[in-house]
Every structure is written in structure tokens, then in C-alpha cells.
């Protein structure tokens, strides 16, 4: 079993790290303060090619695959989970088109999304509850060669910055359908923008659809494919993406913990010599290693075309759960300094928490895992 | 202004941000670099960036030349990822242990085999030896002029570059006929970050590896054999962090401190 | 063959009609080497209308001056200087050639070394003569982590560039006598492939902390001298970036981008000087990768002295004026 990465993957990781440290890091504090998305950085990520990682070459992307994608997201997340989540939702917005679109649809939207000229999003969640997918109320009624959509989506990442948005709507009693709606389509309006306590700089908000007329060519797949498309894209792209952002946080927690413990002295010696601190660091290390290898493994399976819903859910569960836990422990290691806004640990905790329920709560992750387990181990 | 073919010399060095991890083997008197990741010498990246900008503006080719152990291939690969058209690595045991004279000799032989170059760009110095000697020495082996410490390069007329070279408390303006070697400082530009497609393409291409026979090098002039200077000893400087406290009359201690800093070579 | 080479030579650098201090320092160090070897100390001087500088060099200890005076050589011209120096060395065969490690010296010496097919070591901090009459050249490497000792056993002259401040300027003796040899050169503008057109002085701009080679930082203790002015003055003298601690930020002496420490910037300069800084960990974590850490504080128990390489325990009001004067003098 060869656990090493290819030279391309190593260089991609290194480049993502260089970009994150040189260009994102100086803007992190401002992002956290204002909550505004730094569109110049979003543009830069497009220029570097981070927008097209899953898009095949013939549609303007680089098709480097899932493992390379989460390595890049991890490096970005290590500096800013908000930027990582913004990027990964862009990939999620592309995925209905990539995996279920016609050649014509791919040609229409993917090249400009690969370059980052157009930003993607996927609008599924509604006030009825994200976990209750079939309970959504947004309706799409056929009218001639178009569909008219009415409804309200909430907690949508990139709601206010997306140019190409996948919308899941009911076209029948238990029939969900996926439509691509472009920005500035009459009747498609970003609504309230949420003010989160963490992951600030990543835009989360409402989308209001009021008699929004969408041509039939914008339907992905057939009527009724919407559930399959939503679950597949969220499960294979959105979930690992959230997990990778959280993995970046866990990675950062480990680095900050070691750095601080080696420098801070108490009773005349570095606190790294104190066993209680060592145990906290050991805990963070274990969480980091488990998070990363479950994440890389699931991505590796996906790149091989193997179905890996349980593995994806496990990886996302572990890294998001760890991120909160490790950030708490990091704050403990920092002592009173941990709760000061000018130090990093508190931001890592605040950034970690919103990721826990994104792309599926911990409980939903367990449900997905058990479904597979009951089948496999029957 | 016609297109310009640029050669950029790069060196793989220990990551300057992690130099504190370098240790000395006190018995074998060698430097242990294994724990320190290797990178393209930072100033060489600026040189490469300048070469790429020149090519982007005027057309031409950027060829990267390096001399180093097998792992220096990674540095060459990164240069390709940034956009260089070709990379050549001089790699052989016989090249090892070279001082700057021997290095410049070897590089000059490699460069002589590259047709039609208009200029050579280098970083002004490396982070390991920091001598800054290779650019002028390489220039002399190639019998072309050189300008060091360049912070700005312009092309005012055909076959001439106007260079702003930084000196203590100011700068000099130097007009140099091409072909020439120009060694750059970090003020000159901000090196680009490779794109994803640049990285993928770079791994599809070949880094040419040349041995002494490929450049018709005379054995006695390369590597350790070709180095007039030899390192006979290395040691850790006696700088303990629990350092020296200077006490005494203000005038005295001030003089002592400044002298100590000169001795340590930091000012 | 090696035995044929005798004499210690220095390259005397002048700019705008003034000798650089480093050239005089080379005469100081060169004299010691020459005495040990029992040979003459000579200097090469280029310029235009600089004969009075030649007399200065003798007053500072040179026995012979090779004076090359030509209007085209008023400024440093690499091709001409290198060629003439090479010809002189080939003619007179000195065993040692010292060049100041300045922007010009470091540009000139390497080219000459190739023409002479000899070895050149860079920015040495110490020179010794060993029992074989060889020059032992000691210099820092890897960002100062390591010191190396270099010799050049088989070629002559042994060339090296020497950092300013390593040697001491000798005493000036008006009564000293020496030989001035006027060297005729035939140069036209076409010979100068890299031609210096002009030299411009610049006032240094406020440098950022990122990538700074030298950092001067101030803390709470600067209250005693009324504020940050001395920090800025010293920084300007040294071409350094200005930094500070959180108290300095709170006082309004620095802006956020200049704060160094746990919640500020990390710096990795060759030299960090902390003035009036107590050295709490939240600041010092930002400076620990500095090559050399210097501290001035009036409290000898201040934690900064635990991480400093060299420190002065003293009152800033007394020490600072002298420090500024001394840095100015030796620059």
C-alpha cells in the first residue's frame, strides 16, 4: 500500500500553502471583523486554477480529482476556513453540471466557472430543515418551455456572490428537480445575509425565488432526478469539502499548540514539559491523524470511482467534530490568552463550529454510515 | 524591441525560513541539511519572475539552468511550473564540492551550449553561501558584462539594458550592452505563484540532466578539484542566547556593542 | 611559484571623492597581516582627480599606492576596474588582496578572481596567517548558523572581501612616507560594456517588517526618552525596519503592522535591537529566529536578557545618544 502522494500533488499542496500564507493570511483579520467576502481573493483563486479542480480538461478545468482538491482545501483552511468553504461550495455549485449535465450544459457553464469568472452555489436547504430534504416547499411549475419557481432558500453559502446557482425545487408531489439559475434572472434575489459568529468572510444567506422563470434547458437531468443529484453532489463534493476546511483547522490547531507550548514558560520551563499539556497535544495529534487519513482515503476511493458515502460521512464527521474539540483544547493550552480576540485560537473555534452542521449534521452522518454498515456487515 | 531569450540560473537551497533546523555534525565537520526542506533560492525566484515578465512582454524563451544534486530536479520542476520553457540540470558527483569559481566554470560550459541567448538573470546571492560571486564570475567565463544588485531593468534601445542597481544609501544607473548577466534583488518584482495547469504541465515535461561529458568539462576544473578555495573547518559560532551583558560607562558600552555587531557580521 | 607572490594589497574604494571607512579599516587589518608576513602593504585607487586621497591612504598606513586616474573612471566601471586591477596584480604579484564587502567591492572582486584564476572568499569576519604563511579566512554561512574556515592553498593572490567594521581604522600619521605610482590607462567609452551613468543618493523609505534584514524595536521603556524618535533614528541609520511591542502600539508610537509578537508579526532579521523592551514572551516569540538579538534595558532582570545575544544594562537616556553616535561613525 503506497501512502505517498504524487509529485504533482506535493507541488499542488505547496502552491496552495504559498498562496494561503502570502495572500490570504494578511486579510484574515479583516475578514473576521467585517464578515465581508474578499472578492479579490476569490478572483485570485480562480486565476490560480483552484476553481476548476474537478472540471475535466475539455471543459476548461484541470480535472486533478478529489484527493488533490481536498489537499488544496486543507492548505487554504489552515489559514482561513472561511475561504476554504467559499471555494469548496463553488465546486459544489459546479458538480450537478459536471456529473449530471449534458455536453451542451457543460460547455455553457463550466469554462467560466473553472476560471472563477462565474462563482457557483447550490441552494437546497429551506426553513423546514436541511435534514428533511423531501420536505422542501419550493415549487417549480412548468409553463410552456420554462419553469416558474417560487420559494425561499436559507443558509446558502455564496448566496450573495454566486453567478450560477443550482436550485432544488419540487416539480411534483414527491418529485425533486434540479435547475441552474443564473444571477440577475428576474425573480431570483439574494435575501437576508446572515451574521455568523464564525467562518466570517464566507457568505451565508437567503435566496428568494419569486416567479422566477427558468428555461427548460436549465434543468439538470430529468424531472425527479433532483434528489439523486442533490444527495450525490453534496455527499461526494460538498461534504468532503466541508471536511477538508475543518481538517485545515485541526492541522492549524496542532501547529499552534506545539509552537505555543515550546515558547510559553511556566515555573521556569516551557509548558511543553508539563504532562497535562502534553496530553492535550497528543489528543490534537490523534484527531489530526485520524481526520486526515479518513479524508484522504475517502477521496482516494472517490477518484477510483468507488461509491464511498460512509467513508465520506466518516471523514466529515471526524474532522468537523475534531475541529471544535481541538480548538477548545488549543484555547486551554493558551490559557487566558486563548479567549482574547487578538490571538488565533478563539477564531479557530468560531470557524470550526459552523462547519459541524454544514453539508449534514453529525447525526445525519451517522445515519449515512449505518445504512452502509447494516448492508455490508449483514 | 525584439524578442529576448533569457537564461535564468537557479539553485536549490535549504528553506531560509527553517534554517534554525540546520545542524552541524561536530565530528565529521559537515552540515546536516536533511531535516530542512529545500526550495528555489528566493532571489532566484525573483530572477525567474523577471525573465518570465520579459518573455511575456517581448516574446522569446526562458531557459532555466541549475547545478545540484538529484533532488535539485524538484527546483527545476517548480521553475517549469512557474512558466519556464526549458530546464537543464547539471548533475553528477563530479560537480559536487564546487566553490563559486568552479560552479561558474561549469555553468558557463552549459550556457555556451544554449544558442542565441540575450541575457542571463540570476538572484544576487543565495541564502546558504551568500557570496553573490557567481554572477560576476559566470560573466567573466562567458566574456560578457555583468551588473549586480539590480532592482529595476528597462530596455531603452536594442541590445542595451538600463539597470538601476541598489547601493548603500542610494542607487547607480548602469547601461549595459547585451548579452549580459544581471543579478537581481528582491525589490525588482513579486514572483508569481504557479497555477494548477502550470504544475500539471511541468510534470509532463522533461528536465534535461547533463553530466560533465555533456558539456565537455575538464575534470580538474569542476567540483572540489576545480575549487581554489577549500573549507578546512566549520563550527557553530559561540552565540549562546544567554548572552553577554555589557556594563560600564554609556560611551564605552555603546562602542563595545557596535564593535561586537561588526564582528558578528550583522551590520 | 607561490613563493613568488609577496605583499598585501587592498582595494581602496572611494565614492564622490571620499574614501570609504572600510578602505581605511582594510589598511588597519592589512597592516597587521603585512607585518606578520614581513611584506609591504599597498593600495589600488581608481577615480578622477583623487591624488589627495592617495596621500590619505599613505597617512593611514599604505606603503605603495597604485593610482589610476581617468575621467571615465570617476564612477565604478566594472570592465575597466577589473581589467586594470588584474593587470596590476599580474605584474606585481601580491600574495593577498583584500576588498571591502561593499556593493562595489562585491561586484568587482569576483570578476577579478576569475581573470586571475584564483580563489575568493566572501564577507569574512576574521583573518589569520597560519604557520604555512597561508591566509585563514573565517566567514558566516547559512544565515549565520555556521562559521566556516576557508583557505586557498594553491593559487595566488588569496582574495577575500571583508565586511565593514571587522577591522579597526588605524591611526592617521601625517608624517608617514610612501610611494605613489601613477598607472596610465587607455580607455574609451566603447570599452565600458556596463557603464555607470550616474550615482544617486536616496533617503530610505519606511521599510516593512517582512523580510527585513535589520529590525529596531521599541517598547514601554521608550517613555523615559520621550517616545520613539531614537528608534526611528537608529533604524534610519541602519537601514532597518521599525517594530514595537503592544505598549508601543497603545501609546500610538507604531501602527498595527509594526507590532511584533504573538498577536503581531514574526520577524527573522540578521539583527534585532530591542530598546526599552522588557521581553515578555508575547513579544519575544516574534523575534526568536533572529540571527543576533540585542537588548538595551535598565533592568538587569528583564526577561529580554534571557533571549539576547548581547545586552546593555543601562539607562536609555544615557546609552542611546552614544549608540546613535557610534553607529553613525562606523557606517
Q: Which 3 state secondary structure label does DSSP give C210?
A: coil
**Does residue C157 register a pLDDT over 70?**
yes
Q: List CB contacts of B108: < 8 A, sequence separation 6 or more.
A: B138, B141, B142
Same domain, C241 and C157: no
Same domain, A241 and A372: yes
Same domain, A338 and A242: yes
Q: Which pLDDT value is given to residue A227?
A: 96
Residue C95 resides in a domain: yes
User: What values do phi and psi take at B175, rounded to 5?
Assistant: -100, 125
Tell me the average pLDDT across B18-40: 78
Residue B181 bridge partners (DSSP)? B120, B146
Residue C29 resides in a domain: yes
Alpha-carbon gap, residue C37 to C31, rounded angstroms:
10
Q: Which pLDDT value is given to residue C162?
A: 92
Same domain, C269 and C123: no
- Contact (CB, 8 A) for C330 and B258: yes
Stretch 88-107 of chain C: residues touching chain B, C-beta under 8 Å:
102-104, 106-107
The DSSP line for A221-254 is SSTT-HHHHHHHHIIIIIHHHHHHHHHHHHHHHH
- Average per-residue pLDDT for chain B: 92
- Contact (CB, 8 A) for A106 and A117: no
**The three grid cell numbers given for residue C121, joined into one nine-digit string:** 572568499
The residue ranking higher by pLDDT, B83 or C285, is B83
Same domain, A194 and A334: no
Same domain, C138 and C280: no
Domain total of chain C: 2
How many alpha carbons fall within 13 Å on the CB side of residue C70?
A: 17
**Does residue C160 register a pLDDT over 80?**
yes
Same domain, A183 and A250: no
Stretch 270-329 of chain C: residues touching chain B, C-beta under 8 Å:
270-271, 289, 291-294, 300, 305-315, 318-319, 321-323, 325-327
- Residue A97: pLDDT band (50, 70, 90) is very high
Q: In chain C, what residues touch B128 (CB-CB under 8 Å)?
A: 141-142
Highest mean pLDDT among B201-205, C123-127, C309-313: B201-205
Alpha-carbon gap, residue B43 to C14, rounded angstroms:
29
**The three grid cell numbers given for residue A211, joined into one nine-digit string:** 416567479
Same domain, A270 and A189: no
Same domain, A201 and A236: no
Same domain, C187 and C219: no
Q: In chain B, what residues touch A52 (CB-CB under 8 Å)?
A: 196
Please give the distance of CA C223 from its chain centroid, rounded to a whole number.
Answer: 33
Alpha-carbon gap, residue B206 to B226, rounded angstroms:
29
DSSP-derived letter for residue B254 is H
Stretch 236-265 of chain B: residues touching chain C, C-beta under 8 Å:
236-237, 239-247, 250-251, 253-255, 257-265
Residue C202 resides in a domain: no
**Does residue C205 register a pLDDT over 70?**
no
Q: In chain A, what residues touch B75 (CB-CB under 8 Å)?
A: none
Same domain, A322 and A341: yes
Please give the distance of CA C209 from its chain centroid, rounded to a whole number.
Answer: 22
Domain total of chain A: 3
Same domain, A171 and A107: no
How many alpha carbons fall within 13 Å on the CB side of residue B28?
A: 6
Spatial CA neighbour of A54 closest among A18, A17, A96, A20: A96
DSSP-derived letter for residue C168 is P
How many alpha carbons fall within 13 Å on the CB side of residue C12?
A: 32
Stretch 77-136 of chain B: residues touching chain C, C-beta under 8 Å:
99-101, 104, 127-136
- Residue C13: pLDDT band (50, 70, 90) is very high
Residue A266 resides in a domain: yes
- For B102, the enclosing helix (H) or strand (E) is helix B100-112
**The three grid cell numbers given for residue B238, joined into one nine-digit string:** 559561540
Residue A252 resides in a domain: yes
Exposed / middle / buried, residue B133 (Cβ in 10 Å: 0-12, 13-18, 19+): buried
Q: Which pLDDT value is given to residue C72?
A: 94
Q: Which has the minimum average pLDDT: A200-209, A286-295, B207-216, C287-296?
A: C287-296
DSSP-derived letter for residue B70 is G
Same domain, C92 and C19: yes
- How many residues does this entry show for chain C? 331
| ipTM of the shown complex | 0.92
Q: Which pLDDT value is given to residue A214?
A: 98
User: What values do phi and psi take at C132, rounded to 5?
Assistant: -95, 15
pLDDT tens readout for residues A305-318? 999 999 999 999 99
Q: Which 3 state secondary structure label does DSSP give A12?
A: helix
Domain borders along chain B are: 6-226, 237-267
- Average per-residue pLDDT for chain A: 96
**Does residue B247 register a pLDDT over 90?**
no
**Does residue A96 register a pLDDT over 90?**
yes
Residue C125 resides in a domain: yes
Q: CB-based contact (8 Å) between A264 and chain C? A: yes
**Does residue B242 register a pLDDT over 60?**
no
Residue C198 resides in a domain: no
Exposed / middle / buried, residue C243 (Cβ in 10 Å: 0-12, 13-18, 19+): buried
Alpha-carbon gap, residue B32 to B25, rounded angstroms:
7
Q: Which pLDDT value is given to residue B241?
A: 67
Residue B208 bridge partners (DSSP)? B88
- For A208, the enclosing helix (H) or strand (E) is strand A204-215
pLDDT tens readout for residues C91-101? 999 999 999 99
Which CATH number does the domain housing residue A193 bear? Answer: 2.40.110.10
pLDDT tens readout for residues A55-67? 999 999 999 999 9
Q: Which 3 state secondary structure label does DSSP give C306?
A: helix
Alpha-carbon gap, residue A295 to A234, rounded angstroms:
15
Among the partner residues C262, C263, C281, nearest to A265 by beta-carbon distance: C281
pLDDT tens readout for residues A124-157? 999 988 888 899 999 999 999 999 999 999 999 9
Please measure the distance between the N-terminal and C-terminal CA atoms of chain B and give it in whole angstroms.
42
Which CATH number does the domain housing residue A24 bear? Answer: 1.10.540.10
Q: What is the pTM of this model?
A: 0.89
Query: How would CATH label the architecture of B6-226?
Result: 3-Layer(aba) Sandwich (3.40)
The residue whose grid cell reads 476554504 is A84
Q: CB-based contact (8 Å) between B46 and chain A? A: no
**Does residue A1 register a pLDDT over 90?**
no
DSSP-derived letter for residue B228 is S
Distances in Å between the alpha carbon of A372 and those of A228, A306, C255? 17, 13, 57
Q: Which pLDDT value is given to residue C143?
A: 64
- Residue B31: pLDDT band (50, 70, 90) is confident
User: What values do phi and psi take at A94, rounded to 5?
Assistant: -75, -30
- Contact (CB, 8 A) for C125 and C138: yes
- Residue C206: pLDDT band (50, 70, 90) is confident
Q: Which 3 state secondary structure label does DSSP give B156?
A: strand
pLDDT tens readout for residues A197-238? 999 999 999 999 999 999 999 999 999 999 999 999 999 999
Q: Which pLDDT value is given to residue C281?
A: 77
**Helix-helix angle A81-100:A239-263, to 10 degrees:** 160
Range of the domain at A76: 7-114
Which of the listed residues A114, A144, A160 is the one where a domain comes to its end? A114
pLDDT tens readout for residues A105-126? 999 999 999 999 999 999 999 9
- Residue B127: pLDDT band (50, 70, 90) is confident
- Residue A331: pLDDT band (50, 70, 90) is very high
Q: In chain A, what residues touch C282 (CB-CB under 8 Å)?
A: 337
Q: List CB contacts of A350: < 8 A, sequence separation 6 or more.
A: A197, A198, A199, A200
Largest CA distance in chain C: 68
Residue C139 bridge partners (DSSP)? C148
Distances in Å between the alpha carbon of A62 and those of A8, A14, A164? 12, 17, 20
Same domain, A235 and A269: yes
Q: Which pLDDT value is given to residue B95?
A: 96
A-B C-beta contacts closer than 8 Å: 40
Alpha-carbon gap, residue B26 to A243, rounded angstroms:
46
Spatial CA neighbour of A75 closest among A328, A249, A204: A249
- Contact (CB, 8 A) for A82 and A152: no
Provide the 10 A C-beta neighbour count for residue A183. 16
**Does residue B239 register a pLDDT over 70?**
no
Residue A208 resides in a domain: yes
Alpha-carbon gap, residue C157 to C98, rounded angstroms:
10
Range of the domain at C165: 2-191
- Contact (CB, 8 A) for C5 and C95: yes
Q: CB-based contact (8 Å) between A342 and chain C? A: yes
Q: CB-based contact (8 Å) between C255 and chain A? A: no
Which of the listed residues A114, A138, A161 is the one where a domain comes to its end? A114
How many alpha carbons fall within 13 Å on the CB side of residue A298?
A: 29
Residue A60 resides in a domain: yes
Q: Which pLDDT value is given to residue C316?
A: 93
Please measure the distance between the N-terminal and C-terminal CA atoms of chain C and give it in whole angstroms.
40
Alpha-carbon gap, residue C232 to C229, rounded angstroms:
5
Alpha-carbon gap, residue C165 to C168, rounded angstroms:
7
pLDDT tens readout for residues A240-295? 999 999 999 999 999 999 999 988 888 888 999 999 999 999 999 999 999 999 99
b/e string for A82-114 if b means 16 or more Cβ within 10 A? Answer: bbbbbbbbbbbbbbbbbbbbeeebbebbbbbbb
Residue C205 resides in a domain: no
Which of the listed residues A203, A222, A241 is the one where a domain comes to its end? A222
Residue A209 bridge partners (DSSP)? A151, A188
Residue A1 resides in a domain: no
Same domain, C185 and C218: no
Q: In chain A, what residues touch B194 (CB-CB under 8 Å)?
A: 11, 15
Q: List CB contacts of B266: < 8 A, sequence separation 6 or more.
A: C144, C214, C270, C271, C291, C292
Q: Which pLDDT value is given to residue B237?
A: 67
Spatial CA neighbour of A135 closest among A126, A144, A143: A126
Residue C208 resides in a domain: no
Q: In chain C, what residues touch A265 (CB-CB under 8 Å)?
A: 281
Alpha-carbon gap, residue B207 to B63, rounded angstroms:
11
Residue A265 bridge partners (DSSP)? A270
Spatial CA neighbour of A239 closest among A88, A367, A128: A88
Same domain, A207 and A260: no
Amino acid at each position: 500500500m503506497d501512502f505517498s502522494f504524487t509529485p504533482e500533488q506535493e507541488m499542488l499542496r505547496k502552491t496552495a500553502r504559498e498562496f494561503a500564507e502570502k495572500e490570504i493570511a494578511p486579510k484574515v483579520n479583516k475578514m473576521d471583523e467585517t464578515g465581508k467576502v474578499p472578492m479579490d481573493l476569490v478572483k485570485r483563486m480562480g486565476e490560480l486554477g483552484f476553481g476548476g479542480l474537478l472540471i475535466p480538461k475539455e471543459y476548461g478545468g484541470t480535472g486533478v480529482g478529489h484527493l488533490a482538491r481536498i489537499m488544496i482545501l486543507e492548505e487554504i483552511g489552515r489559514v482561513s476556513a472561511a475561504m476554504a468553504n467559499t471555494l469548496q461550495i463553488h465546486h459544489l455549485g459546479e458538480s450537478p453540471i459536471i456529473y449530471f449535465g449534458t455536453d451542451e450544459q457543460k460547455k455553457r457553464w463550466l469554462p467560466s466557472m473553472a476560471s472563477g469568472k462565474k462563482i457557483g452555489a447550490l441552494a437546497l436547504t429551506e426553513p423546514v430543515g436541511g435534514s428533511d430534504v423531501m420536505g422542501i416547499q419550493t415549487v417549480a411549475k412548468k409553463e410552456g418551455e420554462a419553469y416558474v419557481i417560487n420559494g425561499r432558500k436559507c443558509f446558502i453559502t455564496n448566496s450573495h456572490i454566486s453567478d450560477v446557482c443550482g436550485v432544488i425545487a419540487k416539480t411534483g408531489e414527491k418529485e425533486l428537480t434540479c435547475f441552474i439559475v443564473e444571477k440577475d434572472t428576474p425573480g431570483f434575489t439574494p435575501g437576508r445575509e446572515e451574521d455568523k459568529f464564525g467562518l466570517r468572510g464566507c457568505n451565508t444567506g437567503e435566496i428568494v425565488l419569486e416567479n422566477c422563470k427558468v428555461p427548460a434547458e436549465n434543468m439538470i437531468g430529468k424531472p425527479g432526478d433532483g434528489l439523486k443529484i442533490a444527495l450525490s453532489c453534496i455527499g461526494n463534493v460538498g461534504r468532503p469539502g466541508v471536511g477538508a476546511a475543518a481538517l485545515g483547522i485541526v492541522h492549524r490547531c496542532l501547529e499552534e499548540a506545539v509552537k505555543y507550548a515550546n515558547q510559553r514558560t511556566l515555573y521556569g520551563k516551557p509548558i511543553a514539559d508539563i504532562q497535562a499539556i502534553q496530553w492535550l497535544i497528543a489528543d490534537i495529534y490523534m484527531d489530526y491523524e485520524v481526520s486526515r487519513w479518513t479524508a484522504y482515503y475517502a477521496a482516494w476511493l472517490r477518484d477510483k470511482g468507488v461509491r464511498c458515502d460512509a467513508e465520506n460521512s466518516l471523514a466529515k464527521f471526524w474532522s468537523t467534530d475534531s475541529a471544535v474539540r481541538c480548538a477548545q483544547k488549543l484555547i486551554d493550552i493558551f490559557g487566558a490568552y486563548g479567549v482574547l480576540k487578538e490571538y488565533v485560537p478563539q477564531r479557530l473555534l468560531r470557524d470550526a463550529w459552523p462547519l459541524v452542521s454544514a453539508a449534514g449534521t453529525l447525526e445525519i452522518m451517522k445515519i449515512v454510515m449505518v445504512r452502509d454498515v447494516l448492508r455490508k456487515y449483514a | 524591441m525584439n524578442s529576448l531569450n533569457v537564461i535564468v540560473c537557479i539553485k536549490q537551497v535549504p528553506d531560509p525560513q527553517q534554517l534554525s533546523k540546520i545542524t552541524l555534525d561536530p565530528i565529521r565537520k559537515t552540515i546536516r541539511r536533511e531535516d530542512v526542506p529545500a526550495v528555489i533560492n528566493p532571489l532566484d525566484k525573483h530572477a525567474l519572475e523577471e525573465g518570465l515578465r520579459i518573455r511575456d512582454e517581448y516574446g522569446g524563451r526562458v531557459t532555466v539552468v541549475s547545478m545540484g544534486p538529484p533532488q535539485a530536479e524538484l527546483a527545476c520542476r517548480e521553475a517549469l511550473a512557474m512558466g519556464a520553457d526549458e530546464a537543464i540540470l547539471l548533475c553528477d558527483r563530479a560537480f559536487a564540492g564546487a566553490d563559486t569559481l568552479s560552479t561558474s566554470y561549469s555553468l558557463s560550459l552549459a550556457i555556451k551550449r544554449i544558442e542565441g541567448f540575450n541575457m542571463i538573470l540570476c538572484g544576487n546571492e543565495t541564502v546558504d553561501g551568500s557570496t553573490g560571486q557567481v554572477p560576476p564570475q559566470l560573466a567573466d567565463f562567458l566574456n560578457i558584462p555583468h551588473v549586480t544588485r539590480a532592482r529595476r531593468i528597462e530596455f531603452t534601445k536594442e541590445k542595451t539594458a538600463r539597470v538601476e542597481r541598489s547601493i548603500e544609501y542610494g542607487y547607480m544607473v548602469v547601461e549595459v550592452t547585451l548579452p549580459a548577466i544581471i543579478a537581481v534583488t528582491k525589490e525588482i518584482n513579486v514572483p508569481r505563484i504557479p497555477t494548477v495547469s502550470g504544475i500539471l504541465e511541468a510534470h509532463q515535461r522533461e528536465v534535461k540532466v547533463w553530466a560533465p561529458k555533456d558539456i565537455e568539462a575538464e575534470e580538474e576544473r569542476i567540483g572540489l578539484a576545480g575549487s581554489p578555495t577549500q573549507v578546512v573547518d566549520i563550527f557553530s559560532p559561540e552565540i549562546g542566547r544567554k548572552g553577554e551583558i555589557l556594563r560600564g560607562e554609556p560611551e564605552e558600552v555603546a562602542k563595545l556593542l557596535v564593535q561586537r555587531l561588526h564582528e558578528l557580521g550583522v551590520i | 611559484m607561490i613563493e613568488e607572490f609577496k605583499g598585501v594589497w587592498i582595494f581602496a574604494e572611494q565614492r564622490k571623492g571620499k574614501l570609504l571607512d572600510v578602505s581605511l579599516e582594510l589598511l588597519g587589518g592589512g597592516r597587521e597581516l603585512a607585518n606578520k608576513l614581513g611584506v609591504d602593504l599597498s593600495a589600488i585607487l581608481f577615480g578622477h582627480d583623487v591624488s589627495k586621497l592617495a596621500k590619505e591612504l599613505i597617512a593611514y598606513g599604505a606603503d605603495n599606492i597604485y593610482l589610476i586616474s581617468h575621467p571615465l573612471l570617476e564612477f565604478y566601471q566594472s570592465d575597466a576596474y577589473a581589467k586594470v586591477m588584474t593587470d596590476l596584480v599580474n605584474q606585481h604579484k601580491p600574495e593577498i588582496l583584500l576588498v571591502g564587502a561593499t556593493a562595489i567591492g562585491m561586484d568587482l572582486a569576483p570578476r577579478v578572481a576569475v581573470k586571475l584564476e584564483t580563489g575568493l572568499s566572501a564577507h569574512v569576519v576574521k583573518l589569520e596567517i597560519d604557520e604555512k604563511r597561508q591566509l585563514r579566512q573565517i566567514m558566516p554561512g547559512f544565515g549565520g548558523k555556521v562559521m566556516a574556515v576557508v583557505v586557498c592553498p594553491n593559487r595566488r593572490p588569496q582574495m577575500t572581501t571583508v565586511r565593514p567594521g571587522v577591522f579597526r581604522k588605524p591611526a592617521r600619521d601625517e608624517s608617514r612616507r610612501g610611494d605613489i605610482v601613477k598607472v596610465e590607462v587607455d580607455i574609451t567609452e566603447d570599452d565600458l560594456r556596463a557603464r555607470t551613468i550616474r550615482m544617486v543618493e536616496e533617503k530610505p523609505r519606511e521599510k516593512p517588517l517582512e523580510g527585513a534584514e535589520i529590525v529596531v524595536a521599541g517598547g514601554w521603556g521608550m517613555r523615559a526618552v520621550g517616545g520613539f524618535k531614537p528608534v526611528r533614528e537608529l533604524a534610519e541609520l541602519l537601514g532597518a525596519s521599525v517594530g514595537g511591542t503592544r505598549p508601543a502600539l497603545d501609546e500610538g508610537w507604531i501602527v498595527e503592522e509594526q507590532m511584533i509578537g504573538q498577536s503581531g508579526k514574526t520577524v527573522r532579521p540578521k539583527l534585532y535591537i530591542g530598546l526599552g523592551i522588557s521581553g515578555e514572551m508575547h513579544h519575544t516569540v516574534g523575534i526568536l529566529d533572529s540571527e543576533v538579538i540585542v537588548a538595551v534595558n535598565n533592568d538587569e532582570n528583564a526577561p529580554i536578557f534571557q533571549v539576547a545575544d548581547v545586552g546593555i544594562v543601562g539607562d536609555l537616556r544615557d546609552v542611546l545618544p552614544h549608540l546613535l553616535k557610534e553607529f553613525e561613525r562606523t557606517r
